[in-house]
Amino acid sequence: MLTQYLQLPFQQNGIEYKSPYIAALMDARAATGRDVNTGQIADVGKVGNWSGALAYMVLIDYIGNYISKITGGNTSNTKFVKALKDFTHLTDPEIYALYALRCAFGHQYSLINVGRGPKALLLHHQFNVHRGDGDLLTLPPVPWNGIRSPATNNIITIVSLRKLGELVEEIHKNLIAMATVNQLKADGELIYITYAA
């Protein structure tokens, strides 16, 4: 069942079924110039689209909320963090930097996040995003303290939105492979969006 949920829309008895997971993936692909069926880049001019990057980050949240490893999964209360810990090899500072970008985009559509709570120091980031190749992200040599001032204006975390899309596309491929061999479970009811075919 989870394998089908992670696949492209399907038709049955004149109804098209699409999971919210696939809806988010296809929207992220379309907004970032990728083929909606394959994830391959078709329009380089759209690769750095912020709303598409946000859709990819919503998908990471979705994975953390609804999909878990059957054994050895992470138990973080922050679902975005849980998904990246479970399905990538990123370090904690990298994971929390991406979470900070998700918060900056999602809450203020901005490039600055001032962290709160016990992980605040990992969540203070001023970002520069681009659509180029290279590293997914580059952390500054000295972490930003969350206080904007002339002295801290150059403490920047750099993120490639192209590589962010590639990261989520790789997670997607791995989820399908893991679901095929029964290494994943659904956390909650799997719902579908339906359309008349």
Given the structure tokens 């994975």, which residue do they identify?
63
Span 8-36, pLDDT tens digits:
888 888 888 899 999 999 999 999 999 99
Span 54-66, pLDDT tens digits:
999 999 999 999 9
Q: Measured between alpha carbons, how far is residue 16 from residues 43, 103, 193, 194 in Å?
A: 27, 33, 8, 6
Q: What DSSP line would sit under 22-51, residue for residue?
A: HHHHHHHHHHTTB-TTT--BS-GGGTT-HH
pTM: 0.93
> Which residue ranges make up each domain of the chain?
2-196
CA distance 173 to 190: 19
Span 104-150, pLDDT tens digits:
999 999 999 999 989 999 999 999 999 999 999 999 999 999 999 99
Q: Residue 59, SS3?
A: helix
